[in-house]
Amino acid sequence: MLKHHPFQKLGNPELDKDHRTTNPKVVRRYQELRYGSIMIMSDQDTDGSHIKGLVINFIHSYWP
């Protein structure tokens, strides 16, 4: 995921839906965010663990 250019990810329908849902913006103060925490609910199998890692990696790479 990190090796792709950010504009390549914009055409992904899953990431586009997540982007519209969370409405992330570059904010200077964390008090301006619309939410206080993010809960990742994934399956307990290896696929769910992999998806959870991808979501955490995506969030950390764009909003460290």
38 pLDDT more than 60: yes
Torsional class of 23: left (φ above 0), alpha (ψ -120 to 50), beta (otherwise): left
36 sits in the region (left: phi over 0; alpha: psi -120 to 50; else beta) called: alpha
pLDDT tens figures, 13-23: 666 666 666 55
Q: pLDDT tens across 42-61, in order?
A: 988 989 999 899 888 877 77
Q: Which residue has the higher pLDDT, 26 or 34?
A: 34
pTM of this structure: 0.53
Does position 7 have pLDDT exceeding 50, yes or no? Answer: no
Domain spans of the chain? Answer: 7-62
